[in-house]
Amino acid sequence: MQAALEISNLRKTYSNGFTALKGINLTVADGDFFALLGPNGAGKSTAIGIISSLVNKSDGSVSIYSHNIDTDFSIAKAQLGVVPQEFNFSIFETPMQVVMNQAGYYGIDRTTATQRAQKYLTLLGLWDKRNNQNRMLSGGMKRRLMIARALIHEPRLLILDEPTAGVDIEIRHSMWEFLSDLNNTGTTIILTTHYLEEAESLCRNIAIIDGGELVENTSMRDLLKRSNREIFVLDTETPMKYYPEGMSNVTAKDESTLEVEILKGGNLSEVIMALSKQGFTITSMRNKSNRLEQLFIDLVNDGHKNTGDSRE
């Protein structure tokens, strides 16, 4: 399968001597929905900056659909759309002006640009606000405007750097739906996010970057298979007068909440039955944290132990 993005030995050392990327190799297949995760300062935004030509690399190469960003920059850039982490449009312009200008920078004629502007501003719920000044838009609207702007030239590869940061849950879910639909129509998507349930539910493949190095690069399914434990939170019907006995994997968190740790292959229903025999009535149950979150923490912590970085 053709690669949408090929990164080879990518290095970046800033002028202050800080090395943000230490030779990353990464391939993202055409049509993939790919998660690029990492803690703050791991190098994700630097990598995205280099791919989108906003950061000068120190070494290595980047190709978008086999077009090198240095030697074949015009075609490479035409295939790429980027939604940055920070707002980077003029607050005095309107959403319509922003997307129309962006179309112009890609050499798209005015008739086509107008049709696409209407399409994407409507899809992202901004058509009614098209003539408002950008400074009057809410945070969620500004994020959606950057997505509309990144799509105006209909790129084959879309990179989103924390697109749902700071937006409410309803908008976040509508953005997930929009991105899934976009991916289903053939657009390759690379997503960075700190909401790990977002990556888990949307992405098929994942890379984790930490300290400028790739610490994991695999499919989401394979990564999640490695998870060997899961914690469930159980709510009891009435406040507990005593705590469960003889169950090492059950911990009482307060007088009406229990936490149960289930190891891979374990049986949750047996635990609930045992609790029931001891007189506990369970009224509700939920996952304490998603599996990816635990794996992410484990992987990053392992990396820090190996490098002696405690990050307390």
Partner 1 sequence: MNSRELWISFQTIVIKEVSRFARIWPQTIVPPVITTSLYFVIFGSLIGPRIGEMQGFAYMDFIVPGLILMSVITNSYANVSSSFYSSKFQRSIEEILVSPTPEWIILAGYICGGMVRGIGVGLAVTLVALFFSDLAIHNLFVLCSVVVLTSILFALAGFTNGMLAKSFDDISIIPTFILTPLTYLGGIFYSVKLLPDFWQGVSLINPILYMINAFRFGFLGISDIGLVYSYVIILVFIAILFFVNFQLLRRGHGIRS
Nearest to partner 1 of 73, 243 (CB atom): 73
Q: Which amino acid is at 192?
A: T
User: Least separation, in Å, of the C-beta of 260 and partner 1?
Assistant: 48
Q: Are 95 and 143 in contact (CB under 8 A)?
A: no
User: Least separation, in Å, of the C-beta of 126 and partner 1?
Assistant: 17
Binding site for partner 1 (CB under 8 A): 14, 46, 49, 52-56, 73-75, 77-78, 80, 82, 84, 86-92, 97-98, 101-102, 104-109, 149, 153
What residues pair up with 50 in beta bridges, in sequence order? none
User: Least separation, in Å, of the C-beta of 280 and partner 1?
Assistant: 56
Closest CA to 153 of 84, 94, 88, 76: 76
Nearest to partner 1 of 133, 251 (CB atom): 133
Nearest to partner 1 of 84, 140 (CB atom): 84
Nearest to partner 1 of 162, 198 (CB atom): 162
Rounded to whole angstroms, how far apart are CA atoms 121 and 140? 13
Closest CA to 253 of 231, 270, 271: 231
User: Least separation, in Å, of the C-beta of 56 and partner 1?
Assistant: 5
User: Least separation, in Å, of the C-beta of 259 and partner 1?
Assistant: 45
User: Least separation, in Å, of the C-beta of 306 and partner 1?
Assistant: 28
Q: What angle do CA 123, 129, 130 make, to 5 degrees?
A: 80
Torsion angles phi and psi, residue 307, rounded to 5: -95, -5
Nearest to partner 1 of 115, 184 (CB atom): 115
Contacts of residue 101, defined as CB under 8 A and 6 or more positions apart, other chains included, come to 93
Nearest to partner 1 of 135, 221 (CB atom): 135
Alpha carbon 148 to its chain centroid, in Å, reads: 18
